[in-house]
Chains A and B, each alone.
Chain A
Amino acid sequence: MSDDLETLREQTVQALAAATDLREWDAVRVGTLGKSGRLTALLKELGRMTPDERRTRGGALNRLRDELSRLIEARGQELETAALNARLAAERVDVTLPCAPDAQGLLHPITRTIEEMAAIFGSMGFQLAEGPDIESDWHNFSALNTPAHHPARTDQDTFYLPAEASGQPERVLRTQTSGVQIRTMLGQEPPIRIIAPGRTYRADHDATHSPMFHQCEGLVIEKGITLGHLKGCLSDFLRAFFQMPDLPVRFRASYFPFTEPSMEIDIGWSRRTGQIGTGGDWLEVLGAGMVHPRVLANCGLDAREWQGFAFGMGIERLTMLRHGIPDLRSFYESDVRWLRHYGTSPLSPAMLHEGL
């Protein structure tokens, strides 16, 4: 390589090393390889040379151009990386700062329990039925074999609303969701498998009673349904709900006007610790029975042809047992601290295949 080319190379290398930012680097690049760059100028001179000179000089110039291009490119990348690193360093933030919180919305435990009941009974072929909170006396009592003078009526402290028209009996806030049974039997032909969760009302207010609470009623009317099915269905439900395949379940004879035979159903628990499933004590959780022939007749079903069973359970009660919630009143107080504690995520609905 001739001296002038060597000088150019040397000076360019130095200039590149001296360039501290991309602007300076670009000046070197343009000064060397640009239109009026020094190397470009030397290349232009080639045209005026003899073929021999051109061959020799041209080869050297091309090699120099390739080398300088490579060096310039490499230095450019180096500076670019340095510039990026400098920018990123300047952009550094305290990543431990909190992010803007998403408010966590949750479903009420009563909603959750109703969903679980729907999932479990749904798997047994039940459908979810609904009815009005304000019922006629007939739907809430008379159709259910509970005439006005019946002693069972004094056990239920009923809220009354004015009659729809004078001379008619006063309307009631339903004391049980059994009215939905009646509506279902009147509204469709058997076979019937329904559950009816909903609000119910009784004039009672203390630590263990609320004037409004929720019940889930169930009704099965089919040919060939016996008390054995009642026991199987409700044992299956309770064991699924409490997720205990061996949950002790006891059936005790009892009385309700709308079923016969009637029974109350206890589960095993420990009175001392509140733990479900063990402990040797019994806790009542359900009332049930075979649908009374008179109730069937009141709804136009012939007891010689159809029979079945009905049951009712307190949704708050089962929820309290399931989750160890101590106070009934807290369900209705809308205290955000309580709701956040016992609420469930809307993203994990009750689904049997995911587990309840």
Chain B
Amino acid sequence: MNDDNKYSRVIESLKRNRPILQDRERLTDDIMREIKKSSAVATLPEKLVNYFFAWVNNYWLRGTMAVTAVLFAGFFIIQQLVIADRLDKLERQVVRTLYTINDHEPDLGINQRILLNLVLNEQMTEDSITVSTSDMEELLNYVLELQNKYGDLLQDAGKNPYILKRIRQSLEESTNSDEI
């Protein structure tokens, strides 16, 4: 009888001191979501995603994969930078042979420098003259245009040695007659 009274008193006491819920709705939602989750059946894409990305749940595997990916990306960037640097050095090797032009016109592109070098070489064997920048640019454009035309002409000739020889002869003759 004493025991019954004791339990009754405890229950009465608990009933009197009910816990106060701060967010009753959230608790309901959480309970409902957990119930739904356990009862819901995963779809095939979800299963596939879960299967492919199962490794992310393993701490060590996740870390290793992430580090490997970063290393690959870093290696790629470094390798490309090294190659770019070596190419830059190689390009300077070409420029070094044309340094006299490089000193005067540092902004000129490599192709222009090569072309200018060739044009100047031709001139220097004959005479020493002074040419203005605009005249030189115009001359360069003409040379480029002529080179393109000459290339087309060679292509049209089908690289036949006989035809090429005749073309050269013809060009030389016309140049000589122009000079006369």
- Whether chain B is bound by chain A comes out as no
